[in-house]
Amino acid sequence: MAQRTARSRRLGTFRALLARHSGPDAAFGRRLVLAVTATAAVAVPFALALVLVESRWPPLYRLDRATAERLHRTALEHPARVRVLDFFTGVVWDPVTLRLLVAALVVWLLTRRAWRLATWAAVTATSGALIGFLVKNVVERARPHLPEPVAHAPGFSFPSGHAMTATTSCAVLLLVLLPLVPRAWRPLPWALAATAVLGVGYTRVALGVHWVSDVVGGWLLGVAVVTATTLAFEAWRADAGRPRAAVSEGLEPEISSDADPEGTSRGAAVAPSDHVT
């Protein structure tokens, strides 16, 4: 009898532990560990770039210097091209322009009552700007000094604020608006985003206001910020019982059809107690 009682107690303890490790707390813990691991993995390339920049790694230094000098010679030989590059980097892909687009998107989301999606977009853009500014002032890397410069820019060099803003802003616009684009047309916004991100990086180096490594660092840090905020948003979706959304479907596919994207879907099932009998 005593052995049976002890066995029952051990079985009850095992079941309690199993329930504890399979409940909502355990699910949250697993998501948290996954989010931290994924963010850290994405941040590693930026950390490596930062170390190489700070240590003035000779191969990277030679690459930066050679690319800057070659593009500078081209700029001096083609002043018309400089005006085109300056227009794109100073107007079309300027951080102010991109942030205004994100701000307009946030306002639109608020009118759609997509509160959390609007918060995600605003936090991603704002945190990206603040983190980039802080890293610039910690690293304090000087911008290129070239003879007969064709352009000037204030502040420090690493990472490129233009490149980072283009990365975070294009990611926000893509992940929010993709569900509104027909599937056959979705390669187009991806191509436009890639053109903006790569194009703004080229203009900054070609105008002699950034090193190549500055631009790459801006891209990498932007991707790290977007990854961190996106994982946080995905955790909310999981807690709300919504399915995981693929990147190709956008961050919240329901935005394309819901009158209240974060409330009850128009096509959602009605609870039994709400049925009219």
Question: Which of the residues are catalytic?
Answer: 162, 210
Q: What is the 3-state secondary structure (H, E, C) of 172-241?
A: HHHHHHHHHCCHHHCHHHHHHHHHHHHHHHHHHHHCCCCCHHHHHHHHHHHHHHHHHHHHHHHHHHHHCC
Q: Decide: 121 and 102 in contact? Cβ < 8 Å.
A: yes
> Phi first, then psi: what are they for 218, rounded to 5°?
-65, -40
Long-range contacts of 7-14 (CB under 8 A, 24+ apart): none
Q: At what angle do helices 115-139 and 161-177 cross, to 10 degrees?
A: 170
Q: Decide: 261 and 112 in contact? Cβ < 8 Å.
A: yes
Distance CA 230, CA 96 (A): 23
